[in-house]
Every structure is written in C-alpha cells, then in structure tokens.
Amino acid sequence: MQLLRDLEATRDETLPLFQLGAAELARTYAPGKWTVRHLLHHITDSETVLYDRIRRVISEPRQVIWYYDEAAWARGLRYEDMPLELSRSIYESVRAAIIYRARLHYEKDGHLEFVHSVTGVRTLKDEFDKVAEHNAHHLAQIRAALG
C-alpha cells in the first residue's frame, strides 16, 4: 500500500535529523520561519495529535475533533528548551503505532468520518494521508534549511 511506503519513507528520512548538530538545528528555510529544531518538535507534536484523532475516529466515529494551535504549542511547550531526544523517542513510537493502525484500518475503515472543527467532515483515510503529507511538507522545509 502506498500510504505505508510513504509513512516508512518519511519516518526513515526524519529520524536521523534528530541527531543534527546545533548549527544545523538552528537553521531556517526562510527569514522569520521556524528552525529545524522547532520543525522537528512540531512534526512530533503533530504526530501525537493526528494519532489521537485516528484512534478517536476508529473508536468513536462522527465526533467533533478540535484543531490545535501549533504556534501556541511551540510557545507553551517551549520548543527551544525541549530535548530533541525526547521528541525523537515520541516520534518514533507514535509513527510505529500509526503504521500499525494504518495496516489494520486504512482500507477497511477509511470511510469512517469525523468533523474537524475548522475544515469540516473528514475521513479516517484523510487523516492517515495527512500524517505522511504533513511530514513530507516539513521535510521539504528542513531540506531547504540545510541547503
């Protein structure tokens, strides 16, 4: 299944980035944008939010699920101080769980719906796809930052 290949590929490209040196982690892809360090923490937090949504939709379809304010999380959770190794561990374990759930539910239950508080009706399949797309989007930004 293409989704599984995408989830594995983005995982495999993301994990080594947590080991970058301080100078590389401080780079940005454009003036005023998040650093590579911030992007890695953001990818991790987004994985946890998306995984929570996935589990909710599988267990209790058709509920309203609220968006999260990514900038508020970055400030409130103090991305600049958070250890990258902690985020790396979270990212790796949550991605493994997402891959596991995708194998079981993407095709069989992908039609299950929920209501996103901002974007409206979405499906489980949409949310699984978003995991890979979101990670790929930020990987492109990190590649640009690293030149």
C-alpha span between 18 and 43 (Å, rounded):
11
CB 58, CB 100: distance < 8 Å = no
pTM (2 d.p.): 0.96
Tokens of 101: 């759930």
Range of the domain at 51: 2-146
pLDDT at position 19, please?
Answer: 98
CATH number at residue 139: 1.20.120.450
pLDDT at position 44, please?
Answer: 98
pLDDT at position 129, please?
Answer: 98
The percent of residues above 70 in pLDDT, for the chain, comes to 100
- Residue 126's alpha-carbon distances to 6, 30, 60, 106, in angstroms, are 14, 29, 16, 9
Q: What is the pLDDT of residues 12-56, one digit of tens each?
A: 999 999 999 999 999 999 999 999 999 999 999 999 999 999 999
As a whole number, the mean pLDDT across the chain is 97
DSSP 8-class letter at 35: B
Residue with tokens 């309203």: 64
Q: What is the pLDDT of residues 63-101, one digit of tens each?
A: 999 999 999 999 999 999 999 999 999 999 999 999 999
